[in-house]
Amino acid sequence: MEETKFLETAVKAKEASKKIAALPEELKNKALANIAQNIKNNQHRIFEANQKDLFEGEKLVQEGKLSVSTFNRLKLDENKMRDMIQGIEDIIKLEDPIGKTLLKRQLDDGLILTKISCPIGVLGIIFEARPDVIAQISALAIKSANAVILKGGKESINTNKEIMSVIQEALNKTEGFPPNVLSQVFSRDDVNLMLSMDKYIDLIIPRGGNNLVKFIKENTKIPVLGHADGICHIFTDESADLEKAKRIIIDAKTQYPSACNSVETLLIHKDFKHTEELLEALKDAGITLIDKPESWHKEYSDKILAYKFVNSLEEAINHINEFSSGHTDSIITENKTNAKIFMNTVDSAGVYHNVSTRFADGFRYGFGAEVGISTNKTHARGPVGLEGLTIYKYNLTGNGDIVKDYAEGKKHFNHKDL
């Protein structure tokens, strides 16, 4: 897209963000219900478009231009379609995140400060492969009253266009819903243009590999929310239950190996008594084990698992804090004290006890869906749902109040929470 046309898209999105910010919850939910129904009614169109992308994707894999893990994320099957629709329906049921009073404080008699949740504004979403992202993000953006500009990967262009077409059809039939809340761009040049539009775009959210996220962070003034790597760990402590360990690790590695919350490194306490049985069970599950990886900071996105023996809980924690990407890390232990220490000192967005790392997901957290996982330490962390797409403003009401009265001691603050 040429720069003038992209600028027009960005300007329209900014205008739309101001209009959707004022919509009542009932109208936003009506739009979402129409979207869910239209997707149900037009699944065949979306599946047909996805088959075109899969056909082209297979050729790219054979030519070495597309990784197998990316190709696997490209496929939109019946289960993903069901979850996509269910996610929208779940978002409808969630409380409206906009206009909530987060703080109400009397600064002085008749001088009232309130902290109110509000939308961020315009979101720029750049993602690779997974076409179901469009429905998730669109639904979350509408409910949180944000406008969004989406840029998907070229490997899923047919599916992306069809899903957006189905969504826009539903919005066009929703009386009172403003135009240009959702828009889609397609070319590589559009990424650079999006990153330069700091006057119109308030937040960039990348969903893709390390190279994509690194490029985005280095080439924009716009705040970026996301994660570069999914280097997740599981620590099997000395007191770990063998059957729990088998179930959890196999699930975390094989249930969806190319997901960012799939486990990549297994740490095993040297005194764990069932090591051989555990490793054999992992091999029987089709997992390739590596005990001397080239790097401990590696995302395999496949049924490959690096493992290492550690002498103590402290060594496990230190390894995780050094090599983890801050995404999700889990301990398997029957020792509650060790579990508490691990969960308090591992510095990641998700820290688990006796559960699979694959639970790190907005849908599974009850957020309805997510725009991605954030390893940031400001604003939003972990799976980013509705709350992560809001910010807040301070409203102050009084009756002719001025600072001079307080500076000269004529009046005094009483700071009373209401």
3-state per-residue secondary structure call for the chain? CCHHHHHHHHHHHHHHHHHHCCCCHHHHHHHHHHHHHHHHHCHHHHHHHHHHHHHHHHHHHHCCCCCHHHHHHHCCCHHHHHHHHHHHHHHHHCCCCCCCEEEEEEEECCEEEEEEEEECCEEEEEECCCCCHHHHHHHHHHHCCCEEEEECCHHHHHHHHHHHHHHHHHHHCCCCCCCCCEEEECCHHHHHHHHHCCCCCCEEEEECCHHHHHHHHHCCCCCECCCCCCCEEEEECCCCCHHHHHHHHHHHHHCCCCCCCCEEEEEEECCCCCHHHHHHHHHHCCCEEECCCCCCCCCCCCCEEEEEEECCHHHHHHHHHHHCCCCEEEEECCCHHHHHHHHHHCCCCEEEECCCHHHCCCCCCCCCCCCCEECCCCCCCEECCCHHHEEEEEEEECCCCCHHHHHCCCCCCCCEEC
Strand order in the sheet with 416-417: 390-397, 111-119, 101-108, 416-417
**What's the token pair of residue 264?**
């990549």
Q: How far apart are CA 76 and CA 345, in angstroms?
A: 38
- Rounded alpha-carbon distances, angstroms, from residue 70 to 56, 120, 251, 277, 341: 13, 30, 20, 33, 36
**What's the token pair of residue 350?**
């998700």
Average pLDDT of the chain?
94
3-225+384-393 and 232-359 agree in CATH topology: no
Cβ count near 295 (within 10 Å): 8
**What's the token pair of residue 292?**
């001397």
Instruction: Give yes or no for residue 53 having a pLDDT over 90.
Output: yes
* Identity of the amino acid at 305: L
Q: Convert the pLDDT of each residue in 13-38 to its tens digit.
A: 999 999 999 999 999 999 999 999 99
Identify the residue whose tokens are 């990407």. 325
Nearest partner of 309 among 276, 279, 266, 357, judged by Cα = 266
Question: What value does the mean pLDDT take over residues 72-98?
Answer: 93
Whether domain 232-359 has CATH 3.30.565.10 = no
Instruction: Give yes or no for residue 228 having a pLDDT over 80.
Output: no
Q: How far apart are CA 87 and CA 134, in angstroms?
A: 12
pLDDT top residue among 351 and 153 = 351
Instruction: Give yes or no for residue 188 having a pLDDT over 80.
Output: yes
Instruction: Give yes or no for residue 212 having a pLDDT over 90.
Output: no
Each domain of the chain, given as residue ranges in start order, spans 3-225+384-393, 232-359
Q: Convert the pLDDT of each residue in 339-391 to its tens digit.
A: 999 999 999 999 999 999 999 998 899 887 888 889 888 889 999 999 999 99
- Res 80: pLDDT: 92
**Cβ(258)–Cβ(297) under 8 Å?**
no
Instruction: Give yes or no for residue 210 having a pLDDT over 80.
Output: no
Residue 117 β-bridge partners:
392
pLDDT-derived band of residue 57, with 50, 70 and 90 as boundaries?
very high
Question: What value does the mean pLDDT take over residues 401-405?
Answer: 97
pLDDT-derived band of residue 126, with 50, 70 and 90 as boundaries?
very high
* Gap between the terminal Cα atoms of the chain: 51
Q: How far apart are CA 149 and CA 183, in angstroms?
A: 5
- Res 36: pLDDT: 97
pLDDT-derived band of residue 208, with 50, 70 and 90 as boundaries?
confident
Q: How far apart are CA 208 and CA 73, in angstroms?
A: 11
CATH of domain 3-225+384-393: 3.40.605.10
Instruction: Give yes or no for residue 48 having a pLDDT over 90.
Output: yes
Instruction: Give yes or no for residue 331 having a pLDDT over 80.
Output: yes
pLDDT-derived band of residue 137, with 50, 70 and 90 as boundaries?
very high
Please calculate the CA angle 250-251-254 and round it to the nearest 5 degrees: 75
**What's the token pair of residue 81?**
């379609």
- Rounded alpha-carbon distances, angstroms, from residue 200 to 9, 192, 221, 414: 10, 14, 12, 40
For β-strands 147-151 and 122-127, DSSP reports them as parallel
Model pTM score: 0.86
pLDDT-derived band of residue 51, with 50, 70 and 90 as boundaries?
very high
Q: Convert the pLDDT of each residue in 250-308 to its tens digit.
A: 999 999 998 899 999 999 999 999 999 999 999 999 999 999 999 999 999 899 999 99
Q: How far apart are CA 238 and CA 183, in angstroms?
A: 52
